[in-house]
Amino acid sequence: MIEDLSNGTTGPRGKLAVRGLDVFYRVEKPKKGQPGENQALKAVDLDVGVNEVLALIGPSGCGKSTFLRVLNRMNDTVPGARVAGSVTLDGEEILAPKYDVVGLRRRVGMVFQRPVAFPKSIFDNVAYGLRAHGLSEKRELEWRVQQALTRAALWDEVKDRLDANGLGLSGGQAQRLCIARALAVEPEVLLMDEPTSALDPIATAKLEELIAELREELTIVIVTHSMQQAGRVSQRTAFFYMGSLVEVGTTRDVFTRPREPRTEDYISGRFG
Amino acid sequence: MQPILEERASRPPRLNGGAGGGAAGRAGDAVLLVASAAAAALIVLMLVVILVDALIHGAGTVSFAFLTKPPSGGMMAGGVGPAIFGTAALTIVMTIAVVPVGVLTAIYLSEYASPSSRLARIVRLAVANLAGVPSIVFGLFGLGFFIQAIGRGIDRVAFGGQVTYGQPALVWAALTLSILTMPVVIVATEEALRAVPRSLRDASLALGATKFQTTFNVVVPQALGGILTGAILAVSRGAGEVAPILFTGAAFFLPELPTNLNDQFMHLGYHVYVLATQSPDVDRTKPILYGSVLVLLGLTFALNFVAVIIRARTRRGAAARA
């Protein structure tokens, strides 16, 4: 059970601490009188605790995916994106220009909305990150691939066809393959961007179960459009609206007695 | 809205000679249909005429001996063996030069240059204009730049002024051709790279792979079909070009096959030109001329055919993945 979360902003023992985070996207060909940048996140303060699942909810375009992509600096790949403020991982500033981004992404893994298997074998998919990090010893690779697939609850389904192409997997299997791929490099934090939006209900249930298990070993931040999902998998929930963090607290509090009227409106389905 | 639509509908009839109303509009449709179909048929007809003409006059000439023997009897007998060899050698050297440079340029444009980068804009502009330069200009450029400037320079520095590389040669012709075909490779490769979904790149980067690893382990393999198609199209274009090699290395007739990069060579396209214009007896040269044309056409079509097959395969692959 998680300790005091009364104010909600700071979770249990901090893993990630975000302070005054602003994110801007450049507007291509701005119209007259329009600013050259769009602010996607405004002064966000938010902590993520060790071994917790933090759910990010809010209507489309509210900045929750942007927030997620800041945490492993995937926003660096967006041309014209600008980030200001502070994000620390175990106390270390990750937004510093000289910070080792490649190393950061090994510690903070990511699972995307649509499962994207590489057009390689299942084995090579899972081994991809390990190989990228210079691991080439065959038995070590095999062992880690098996571990990762087991943790992602996919091993039993694919153990006899590790050489088959990863593209041949079903949507739910492909998403678990992506999770195995991310787990193989043993990240400390796993970011999930609507990981079940492309999956059927059974695959979704499986994945949610998996999230609950993974929580024992790592910290998870999950973006979801499903209120029920946030309720099922997360300990704390943060509600984003129009680039601002409106409210964050224990999932139970946010859903049963939200402090902000906007949160209540969103949760009760009045907009979004 | 209504008046505007009527105005539009009445426009084609006016071009047709003034008949008004919807019926005339439909007549315009019919005219356009016939005209466009006829234009399309004309293209096919041209290809058929070229092929049939070459086949009728040339098919009897093409034999194993014709494909392997050198010309003889004052170019009025014998075969095109050395010309095929020269064309192949030229094309291979050209490919070795054009593919790495073209692919790397495309990788820079697609993966590394920011969309607003001035350098990338300049490179794209240069590529587009390079594609529009007449091929004879490339020939003159090759003579002036590769042979006179670089070749003579090499001779001065490495061979004590003795003419070794400062003359028309296989390597200069190949490099000239590689510049001519460079835009094809760059444009095809860049398109192929751009077609690789961003989600694949993101998936790789998010696993802590570097940009270099992502490019060469994920993006380029995924784009390989398109890159190969571009390379083959460049090769088939280069194999048939004559103007760029006129002054840079092609020889009228050579008793021996080229063995060094600085040797001259015979070439199918140039051979056709020679047979057609320089023969003392046009009628006696005709079968050999047509035979050479047929071989050249066959070679080019075969390369294009391979490109089409590769493209179709990659498309199927991509469709299966989507």
Helix (H) or strand (E) run with residue B12 in it: helix B11-16
Q: How far is B308 from chain A (nearest CA, A)?
A: 22
Q: How many CB pairs under 8 A join A and B?
A: 67
Cβ–Cβ below 8 Å for B204 and A118: yes
pLDDT at B3 > cutoff 90: no
Q: How many helices (DSSP H) and strands (DSSP E) are in chain A?
A: 10, 10
> Which residues have a Cβ under 8 Å from the Cβ of B294 and sit 6 or more positions away?
B54, B55, B58, B59, B61, B62
| Other beta carbons less than 10 A from residue B34's beta carbon | 10
Residues in chain A: 272
pLDDT, residue A234, reads 94
- All residues of chain B having their beta carbon less than 8 Å from the beta carbon of residue A103 are 208
Rounded-to-5 percentages of helix, strand, coil across chain B? 75, 0, 20
State whether residue A74 sits within 8 Å of chain B by CB.
yes
Residues of chain B found within 8 Å of residue A121, distances taken between Cβ atoms: none
Quote the minimal CA–CA distance from A111 to chain B in Å: 8
| pLDDT band (50, 70, 90) for residue B285 | confident
pLDDT bracket for residue B78 (50, 70, 90): confident
Give residue A31's pLDDT band: very low, low, confident or very high (50, 70, 90).
confident
pLDDT at A16 over 80: yes
Per the CB < 8 Å rule, is B206 touching A110?
yes
Q: Give mean pLDDT, residues B79-87.
A: 87
| pLDDT tens for each residue of B225-266 | 889 888 888 888 888 889 999 888 888 888 788 888 888 888
Query: What's chain B's length in residues?
Result: 322
The Cα–Cα gap between A65 and A50 comes to: 21
Could A109 and B202 be called an inter-chain contact, meaning their C-beta atoms sit closer than 8 Å?
no
Q: Is the model's pLDDT at B189 over the cut of 90?
A: yes
> Where do the structural domains in chain B lie, given as residue ranges?
18-58, 64-321
Chain B: nearest CA to A8, how far in angstroms? 29
Q: Quick one: closest CA in A to B115, which residue?
A: A79
Q: Confirm or reject contact between B6 and chain A (CB < 8 A).
A: no
Tens-digit pLDDT profile for residues A102-126 = 999 999 999 998 899 999 999 999 9
Beta-carbon contacts of B36 under 8 Å, excluding residues fewer than 6 positions away, are none
Q: What is the mean pLDDT of residues A13-39?
A: 85
Are β-strands A236-241 and A219-223 bridged in parallel, bridged antiparallel, or unpaired? unpaired
Give Cα separations from B144 to A213, B14, B243, B248 (angstroms).
71, 55, 14, 9
Residues on chain A touching B198 (C-beta within 8 angstroms): 77
Instruction: Report d(CA A135, CA A106) in Å as an integer.
Output: 13
What is d(CA A107, CA B158) in angstroms, rounded to the nearest whole number?
A: 55
Q: Tell me if chain A has a CB within 8 Å of the CB of B319.
A: no
Quick check: B135 and B179 in contact, CB under 8 A?
no
Closest-approach residue (CA) in chain B for A166: B321
Q: Is the pLDDT of residue B132 over 70?
A: yes
Could you report the per-residue pLDDT of A198-241, keeping only the tens digit for each?
Answer: 888 888 888 899 899 889 889 999 999 888 899 999 999 999 99
| C-beta separation of A2 from A49 below 8 A | yes
Split at pLDDT 50, 70, 90, the class of A272 is: low
Pairing of strands A108-111, A189-193: parallel
The reply to whether residue A106 touches residue B114, judged by beta carbons under 8 angstroms, is: no
| Contact A118/B at CB under 8 A | yes
**How high is the pLDDT of residue A36?**
82
Q: What is the pLDDT of residue B158?
A: 86
- Alpha helix ranges (H) inside B197-267: 198-206, 211-214, 220-240, 243-246
Q: What is the rounded average pLDDT of the residues A181-199?
A: 91
B279 Cβ neighbours under 8 A, 6+ residues apart:
B75, B76, B285, B289
Q: What is the pLDDT of residue B252?
A: 83
Give the mean pLDDT of B205-232.
91
Q: Verify whether the Cβ–Cβ distance A119 to B321 is below 8 Å.
A: yes
Give me the domains of chain A, ranges plus CATH numbers. Answer: 14-116+187-267 (3.40.50.300)
Q: Which fold has domain B64-321?
A: MetI-like fold (1.10.3720)
Residue A129: per-residue pLDDT = 93
* pLDDT greater than 90 at residue A131: yes
B-chain CB neighbours of A109 within 8 Å are 206-207
Q: CA of A101 to nearest chain B CA: how many angstroms apart?
A: 8
By C-alpha distance, which of A230, A239, A114, A240 is closest to A177? A114
pLDDT exceeds 80 at position B74? no
Q: Nearest Cα to A108, choosing from A186, A194, A21?
A: A186
**Contact at CB, A167 and B321, closer than 8 angstroms:** yes
Chain B positions touching A104 (Cβ under 8 A) are 208
Instruction: Give the residue on A whose Cα is nearest the Cα of B211.
Output: A102
Q: What is the pLDDT of residue A11?
A: 45
The pLDDT of residue A192 is 94
More confidently predicted of A91 and A10: A91
Question: B201, A178: Cβ pair inside 8 Å?
Answer: no
B213 touches chain A (CB under 8 A): yes
How far is C-alpha B296 from the chain's CA centre? 13
pLDDT of residue A2: 40
What is the pLDDT, as a whole number, of residue B277? 86
A229, A149 Cβ separation under 8 angstroms: no
Residue B318: which pLDDT band, with cuts at 50, 70 and 90? low
Low-confidence winner among A13-17, B172-176, B279-283 (lowest mean pLDDT): B279-283
| Interchain CB contact of A25 with B (< 8 Å) | no
Terminal-to-terminal C-alpha distance of chain A: 31
Interchain CB contact of A112 with B (< 8 Å): yes
A55 forms bridges with which residues in the sheet? Answer: A222, A237
| Confidence tier at A22 by pLDDT (50, 70, 90) | very high
Chain B residue with minimal CA distance to A117? Answer: B200
Residues of B whose CB is below 8 A from A79: 114-116
Q: Do A133 and B197 touch (CB under 8 A)?
A: no
- Residue A166 pLDDT greater than 50, yes or no: yes
CB contact under 8 A, A105 and B200: no
Contacts of B322 (CB under 8 A, 6+ apart): none
Mean pLDDT of chain B: 84
- CB contact under 8 Å between B209 and A118, yes or no, is no
CA distance A109 to chain B (A): 6
Report the residue of chain A nearest B220, measured CA to CA: A119
Task: Judge whether residue B305 has pLDDT over 80.
Answer: yes
Handedness of CA B118, B119, B125, B128 (dihedral sign): negative
Between β-strands A37-49 and A14-26, what pairing exists: parallel, antiparallel or unpaired? antiparallel
Question: pLDDT confidence of A136, banded at 50, 70, 90?
Answer: confident
Q: In which order are the strands placed within the sheet that holds A37-49?
A: A37-49, A14-26, A81-89, A92-93
Alpha-carbon distance of B79 to B67, in angstroms, equals: 6
Average pLDDT over residues A76-101: 90
Residue B281's pLDDT is what? 80
Please give the residue of chain A at the shortest CA–CA distance from B198: A77
* Tally of CB atoms within 10 A around B291: 24
CB-based contact, A99 to chain B, within 8 Å = no
Mutate to test the interface with B, among A69, A77, A78 (most CBs of B within 10 A): A77
State the Cα–Cα distance between residues A224 and A110, nearest whole angstrom. Answer: 14
The mean predicted confidence, pLDDT, of chain A is 88
